[in-house]
Amino acid sequence: MTAPGLSIRGLTKSFGGVRALDGVDLTVPMGQVHALLGHNGAGKSTLIKCLGGAYPPDAGTIEVGGVSYARLSPRESIAAGVAIIFQTLSVVDALTVAENIFLGQEWTRYGRIDRRAQEEVAAGLLERVAAKCSPRDRVGELPMAQRQLVEIAKALSRSASVLVLDEPTAALSGTEADALAERVEDLRTQGLAIVYVTHLLSEVERLADEVTVLRDGRVAHHAPMAGRTRRELVESITGGPLESTPRRARGLGRGHAPPGGEGPTAEAPDRPPGRERLAAPLGGEGSSAGAVDRPSGRECPPAAHGGDGSTADAADRPPGRERPPAPPRLTVHGLRGPGFGPVGLTVAEGERVGLYGLIGSGRTRILETLYGRRPASAGTVRVGDRTVTPARPAEALAAGIALVPADRRAQALFPSLSAQDNALLPSVRPLARYGVRALGAERRVFDAVATAVGLRPARPGLPAGAFSGGNQQKLVLGRWTNEARHVDVLLLDEPTQGVDVGARQEIHRVVSSLAAERGTAVLFASSDPEEIVALADRCLIVAGGQVVGELSGAGLTEQALLSAVHDTVPAEGAA
């Protein structure tokens, strides 16, 4: 359209002989959103860091606002009008919104910071990004989505003309992500050139004017978005035609999600969420997946029957009854804890049950309580026939319950320790003989699990921090799926957050085969409807700390999930 806001030509950058970027071109005109896709390690973050001035490129030029640079310092980058919103936000929690926006460029009056003027201008900027916070709020007390908007407002205050968003929705709930998408659209109309880095194809479809896919440091695909199918994109990301996941045979023909299935057959729900779609699946056709519906609560969705399972209806209809081949592996009755409950649910042997809900709906609390990380105030948990009351993760593990937590960096990974340590840590003691580590057996188990999860590179001694996000997640998953552990119930919280498409597919495959081959009961939480549909046999809708609905069989679609959540929001507020 107009003059290019950002024009990158032939950008090349190597690290110790490895080409991270190899002659990459990228042009983003003002007033356009350009989606940047690719595996982790494909070169996206190197590109962003060259743009932000963190790395000097080896060759190529970066042109911003008509000025061409061979390299940029961080300061020059800001001065040129580039603003990068990283996944890890750079806002200072202890300062107010206005102080954050003007950090490093304070307005002074007679040598003192002119708070009032700053706050007035900040209020204007916040309005521009439709943030719901006040300039005087402390950033640390704001939800993630608002902090992100503060950071965008900060960029606007520096008259940024090029805005780079690095996986901006990774930490946001569905509604928050929707709101952010609206902001991005606003900013596009305000004439910014926007580079949007993401793994989520639905976001690309909604927002992107053009799309560039990086693979191995090169541009693998570049085209206007219009008319692109997901399949094309996924193929250019992975660099080959899609294979359909073997284990997902019972996938009920809803596998339009890239990792899950047979792309083209998907009746991709491209219409806006229709409310009528919710009722149908809830009516319970879950035939093929053998899902059980819970008639009681359907008509009066949320709170009324929130305690399902704890009392009458669970008592007189044991959930496993109608599913003869698969007895319940995990049975939860009336589980309560701070911020949630009562919750009742069952997961059968070999069944994969999703928990879908907004951030703050209690999904994570439920999983963490089952795992003993949080105390339960009431309720019973049974694994098979045994009643367990895990007060610590170690006790949950002893009872056969394992958790893959959501926040990999903070809760799961040991970045400086080797891949083998990461994958085998809880297995070292069980493998040991007479208190001495069985080094040979450890290596054998590691090799087996590395093959099973498709770890790349499969080098036992490499520090986990050197792996891509997807492979890190495989290591964490391998912790519970290796042969030295016996896990009856596998809990996963956002199993593929921040993971590239290829690894996501592999992780889903590993989880599915675990369920199919070892009969492990899988209970996973996700805020990504695509993932729920791809991985779950059955999905429980969580809102306000309770299970408020269930989708299964053919009724389990992205559409239905979204409507279910949107439906329950007001009710949750009232409850």
Rounded Cα gap, residues 359 and 172, in angstroms: 7
Closest separation between CB of residue 180 and other proteins, Å? Answer: 28
Which tokens go with 460?
Answer: 């036992």
Shortest reach from residue 492's CB to other proteins, in Å: 13
Count, residues near other proteins per rule CB under 8 A: 30
Q: Judging by DSSP bridges, how do beta strands 4-15 and 521-526 pair with one another?
A: unpaired
Contact range with other proteins by CB under 8 A, out of 81-89, 101-109, 298-306, 410-418: 410-418
> From the list 23, 426, 454, 519, which residue makes contact with other proteins (rule: CB under 8 A)?
426
Could you give the CA distance from residue 500 to residue 257 in angstroms, rounded to a whole number? Answer: 13
342, 344, 400, 405: which one binds other proteins (CB under 8 A): 405
**332 sits in which H/E element:** strand 328-337
What is the closest distance, in whole angstroms, from the C-beta atom of residue 11 to other proteins in the complex? 25
Q: How far is the CB of 37 from other proteins (least distance, A)?
A: 30
524 sits near other proteins (criterion: CB under 8 A): no
Instruction: Report yes or no: 287 and 574 within 8 Å, Cβ to Cβ.
Output: no
DSSP 3: S
Of 568, 6, 500, the C-alpha closest to 234 is: 500
**Phi then psi dihedrals of residue 223, to 5 deg:** -165, 160
Question: CB 171 → other proteins: shortest distance, Å?
Answer: 18
Which parts of 13-32 interact with other proteins (CB under 8 A)?
16
d(CA 468, CA 324): 42
Token pair recorded at residue 18 = 């490895």
- Give burial (CB, 10 Å; 0-12/13-18/19+) of 496: buried
DSSP 440-474: HHHHHHHHHHHHHHT-SS--TTSBGGGS-HHHHHH
With binding defined as CB under 8 A, does residue 417 bind other proteins?
Answer: yes
Nearer to other proteins, 236 or 418 (CB): 418
Least spacing, CB of residue 547 vs other proteins, in Å? 24
In the range 437-496, which residues lie near other proteins by CB under 8 A? 437, 439, 479
- The 8-class DSSP code of residue 138 comes to B
Q: Which of 429, 443, 570, 573 binds other proteins (CB under 8 A)?
A: 429
Burial of 227 (0-12, 13-18, 19+ CB in 10 A): exposed
Between helices 144-157 and 115-128, what is the axis angle to 10°? Answer: 110
Q: Pick the closer one to other proteins by CB: 151 or 494.
A: 494
In the complex with other proteins, which residue's Cβ is closer, 321 or 386? 386
Instruction: Report how far residue 170's alpha carbon sits from residue 502's, in angstroms, rounded to the nearest whole number.
Output: 17
Which residue's CB is nearer to other proteins, number 196 or number 371?
371
Shortest Å distance, C-beta 486 to other proteins: 13
Q: Which is nearer to other proteins, 386 or 392 (CB)?
A: 392
Instruction: Annotate each residue in 372-391 with x if it binds other proteins (CB under 8 A) or - if it does not, as one string.
Output: -x------------------
With CB under 8 A as the contact rule, the residue among 97, 213, 412, 489 that binds other proteins is 412
403 interacts with other proteins by CB under 8 A: yes
Tokens (6 digits) for 436: 């001495």
One of 59, 95, 103, 432 touching other proteins (CB under 8 A): 432
The stretch near other proteins (CB under 8 A) out of 162-170, 238-246, 353-361, 414-422 is: 414-422
Listed ranges 127-135, 226-234, 302-310, 431-439: which one lies at the site for other proteins (CB under 8 A): 431-439
Cβ 382 to other proteins shortest distance, Å: 20
Instruction: Pick from 10, 224, 415, 457 the residue near other proteins by CB under 8 A.
Output: 415
Which one of 114-122, 223-231, 309-317, 405-413 is the stretch in contact with other proteins (CB under 8 A)?
Answer: 405-413
For residue 574, state whether it binds other proteins (rule: CB under 8 A).
no
478-481 — which CB contacts under 8 Å span 24+ positions? 478/422, 478/423, 478/449, 478/450, 478/452, 478/453, 479/402, 479/404, 479/422, 479/423, 479/424, 479/425, 479/426, 479/427, 480/402, 480/404, 480/426, 481/449, 481/452, 481/453, 481/510, 481/514
Comparison of 18 and 436: residue with beta carbon closer to other proteins: 436
Would you say how long the chain is, in residues?
A: 575
Looking at beta carbons only, is 102 or 480 nearer to other proteins? Answer: 480
Selected from 436, 440, 461, 574, the binder of other proteins by CB under 8 A is 436
CA–CA separation, 51 and 29 (whole Å) = 16
* One residue of 241, 324, 325, 435 binding other proteins per CB under 8 A: 435
Q: Are strands 489-493 and 521-526 parallel, antiparallel or unpaired?
A: parallel
Q: Which stretch binds other proteins (CB under 8 A): 94-102, 286-294, 379-387, 427-435?
A: 427-435
Q: What is the closest distance, in whole angstroms, from the C-beta atom of residue 424 to other proteins in the complex?
A: 8
3-state secondary structure labels for all residues of 237-254: HHCCCCCCCHHHHHCCCC
Residue 37 or residue 424: which is nearer to other proteins going by CB?
A: 424
Distance of closest approach, residue 397 Cβ to other proteins, in angstroms:
4
Q: Find the shortest distance in angstroms from Cβ 564 to other proteins.
A: 30
Residue 425 near other proteins by CB under 8 A? yes
Q: Which is it for the CA torsion 482, 484, 486, 487, positive or negative? A: negative
Residues that bind other proteins (CB under 8 A): 16, 371, 373, 392-394, 396-398, 403, 405, 410-417, 421, 425-426, 428-429, 432, 435-437, 439, 479
